[in-house]
Structure 1
Amino acid sequence: MIRELVVEGFTVFPDKEKFEFVPGINVVVGGNDSGKSHLLKLCYSLAKWSSGGGRKSLPDKWAEELRLRNDLMRVFSSRNLSGLTALNRGNDHAGVFASMIGDGVPDRMGDIRFRFCSTEEEEGLHIDEMPKRFLNNPVVFLTAREVFAIFPSFVQLGAKFPEVLDGACWDLCRALEIPMKLSPDDVALGRVLGRIQKILSGNVIFQDGRFYLSRPGQQAMEMSLVAEGFKRLGVLDCLIRNGTVNKGSILFWDEPEMNLNSFHLPLLVKVLTGLAKAGVQVVLSSHSLFLLRELMIQLSERRNEQVSRRFFGLNVPHENRLGVRVNSGNSLEDIGPIESLEAEIEQADRYLKLV
């Protein structure tokens, strides 16, 4: 899992900010332009880079610097490193520290510290502290982009022209190529899969190079034609059944509530808590008050006592919109008022007065 992250001068974080993650559910809360997606993409890039493991010995540092630089630019779809500094917020130097732990990687053995500057494109990125061991854990990022429609083109053109896809979508398409089983071997993940398929009212199948949603008594429908809110759940269905999402893996999920109506969100939260119980570290972002309240309700139940949780609140102060302030805690109340959530609460109060 990713245990700790410290950033300074990175995109919307001009000042030093520290994030301490838990093995269970980590929730990043904030409005538009608060850096939620940037935080998830950075964590994903580092976890993916570190999980290039399985190597008996570490390669030369310069090679790893180049690989990490390329991974960051691909995931962020950035032309250069200067776009990843907080240059617009008065900081042209970026520094990042991350601590990764996993099977065979004890605490502090997977640490990495690196820096880059907007004026040093040729020299690129400098690693000041190399990990003594790499992870060997699957890492998944469910992005907002729909990949089922992309997949056939990926198969035909992606290998020749990888630049047509951002890094996270490329990785998802590669993971979808792995053959699926009917159900996972792990019982806990089997329960999660059952909840996903209940929301979908069916399961995903792969035929003739395309993915379809198969529902009882209906003709299979191409996933590109399925309702938008179901598509990423369909991807998760596939990744659980092909073993990519399993015990010890990390799942990053940007706004899981996107395009889902509120009726499905309680069951979606059961999917999230079920993944955590199955040993998957979950890092998600959201600004849905309904989802966050449902998450707090279910996490307070006795059946979820063992699920560790951490909330991160990202706020852009009105008096100074050049930097993001970060608060963290074990509940929504610990992270202070979030502008986007406060607006929903205020409207609900006004509506109740109206009726």
Structure 2
Amino acid sequence: MQGKPNANTHPTERESRSLTNIFLEQFTAFKRLDLNLGQGINVFIGANGTGKTHLLKVAYAACDITKTGLDFAEKLTRVFLPSGRVLGRLAKRQEERVLARIDVFRGNKKLHAFFYSDSESPASSVTTGYDTWSEDTIESVFIPVKEMLSHGPGFRSLYAQREVYFEEIHADILDRAYRPPLRGPLGSARRRILRDLQNAVEGEITVKNEEFFLQTGHGNLEFTLLAEGMRKLGLLWILVQNGTLQNGSVLFWDEPETNLNPKLCEVLIDILLRLQRLGVQILIATHDFAILKELELQMTAGDQVRFHALYRDVSDGELRCESASLPFQLQHSPIDEAFSSLYDREIERSLGGDE
């Protein structure tokens, strides 16, 4: 197995807070995956069905249990929500019985779990390294594709009391959003981020009776009447303002470009780069060319950005991953392939090739 930290080395302070490696075997769509993570921004691209969101969910579950104390397998069933909450359904589907394995590394700390494809409940799984893994809590947040702030009033109490068929990431993001601000000064860098986000959404986010509003010079506009792309930037403002995103935090964001005007990608990427400079590790999954291009254009020499392409190997149909420091260095990029195809078709049409 490649990329694991040597037990005799001493990780840096940032390495001890950041996720450094994920190893999956016979888990969901993955036969075997060994992935090294960067300490800053990690961008996952790939065609639909290549496991981008699954990677984010596994890593998020590993982080979240350091705060909640939940069993790792239990958290996995809550964020993946397999039918009947049967843990074994998260194993790779095959005719024979298989052993699913998950290893998540944070410096020299390792969280290890395994279960069989016929395992019924989380109690039938085996997890090791939990005590050491949870010695230092990880502040983490998962922003799902579905916007949740406009559904906030009453949802948390409903989810807590009833069997509501929602992946737990949707309840978790509301828990993060409703947090009051931390005590103490914000710091100049966070204040500047908040100012720029306020300028982008043209107001400040407020909460009243669990309902979110955008406070502008013309009054309060409820989130249900606000464009969904603006709600996303508003959520980011909340998470920075209340201290969820700060040095040592981990942000997971699934398709941040959804319903976001492409012009706002410049603002979004600027904020994400500044957050990683503050010590926030970021994992995002995207299908968007503008996200990749903005990162490429705005990155500076000191930024830690890593691009990961998930793809199916034509030789056996199994999922593989390649990583690079720049998006154009990836050999398997459906985003680049799609835009290259559009360009070729445009050239062909301009030359009269479609006549």
**TM-score over 0.5 for the pair:** yes
The letter of the residue matching 1:307 is D
C-alpha RMSD of matched pairs (Å): 2.4
Residues 319/197 of structure 1: CA separation in 2 closer, same or farther (3 Å cut): farther
1:85 aligns with 2:66: no
Q: Which runs of 5+ in 1 are unaligned?
A: 54-63, 101-106
**Aligned-pair distance for 1:112?**
1.2
Identical-residue share of aligned pairs (%): 27
Equivalent residue number for residue 56 of structure 1? none
Q: CA deviation at 1:148?
A: 1.2
2:275 is the alignment partner of 1:267:
no
Q: 1:121 to 1:192 in 2, by over 3 A?
A: same
**Residues of 1 paired with 2:176 and 2:346: CA distance?**
46
In 2, Cα distance between the equivalents of 1:350 and 1:89? 43
Q: Counterpart of 2:154 in structure 1: which amino acid?
A: S
Where do 1:200-215 residues align within 5 Å? Answer: 200-215=201-216
1:265-304 mapped onto 2 (5 Å cutoff): 265-299=265-299, 304=300
Q: Name the counterpart of 2:3.
A: none
Give me the whole-angstrom Cα distance separating, in 2, the residues matched to 1:151 and 1:191. 27
Residue matched to 1:335: 330
Could you tell me whether the CA contact under 8 Å between 1:327 and 1:334 is conserved in 2?
Answer: no
**1:221-232 matches, cutoff 5 A:** 221-232=221-232
Contact 2:309 2:330 in 1 (8 A): yes
Cα displacement (A) at 1:247 = 1.2
- Give, as a single letter, the amino acid of the residue that structure 1 aligns with 2:146: R
Please tell me the residue identity of whatever aligns with 2:290. F
Q: 37, 43, 52: which one pairs with 1:36? A: 52
Partner-residue secondary structure (3-state), 1:311: strand
Q: Name 2:8's counterpart in structure 1.
A: none
Structure 1 SS opposite 2:60: helix
The SS at the match of 1:221 is: strand
Please tell me whether the aligned partners of residues 31 and 315 of structure 1 are also in contact (alpha carbons under 8 angstroms).
yes
Q: Distance in 2 between matches of 1:20 and 1:184?
A: 35
Deviation at 1:117, TM superposition (A): 0.9
Q: Is the 8 A contact 2:20 2:105 kept in 1?
A: yes
- What are the superposed Cα offsets for residues 233-261 of structure 1, whole Å, 9 maximum, x if unpaired? 21121111111111111000111111112
Aligned 8 A contact 1:137 1:248 in 2:
yes
Instruction: Quote the residue 2:189 is aligned against.
Output: 188
Distance in 1, Cα, partners of 2:182 & 2:23: 39
120-129 or 70-79, larger mean C-alpha shift: 120-129
CA shift at 1:90, angstroms?
A: 7.3
Match of 1:32, SS?
A: coil
Superimposed CA distance per residue, residues 246-291 of structure 1 (whole angstroms, 9 cap, x where no aligned partner) = 1111000111111112111111110110111111111111111121
| Cα drift, residue 319 of structure 1 | 6.0
SS for the counterpart of 1:2 is coil
User: Which runs of no fewer than 5 residues in structure 2 stay unpaired?
Assistant: 1-17, 351-355
Report the CA distance between 1:94 and its aligned residue: 1.0
Aligned residue among 299, 304, 308 for 2:304: 308
Report how far residue 31 of structure 1 moved: 1.7
Structure 1 pair 156–81 and aligned structure 2 pair: CA distance change class (3 A): closer
TM-score (norm 1): 0.85
Aligned to 2:159: 158
Partner of 1:103: none
**1:312 offset after TM fit, Å?**
0.8
The answer for the alignment partner of 2:63 in structure 1 is: 47
Give the structure 2 partner of residue 174 of structure 1: 175
Matched, 1:115 2:122: no
Q: How many residues align?
A: 329
> Closer, same or farther in 2 for the Cα pair 1:185/1:83, shift >3 Å?
same
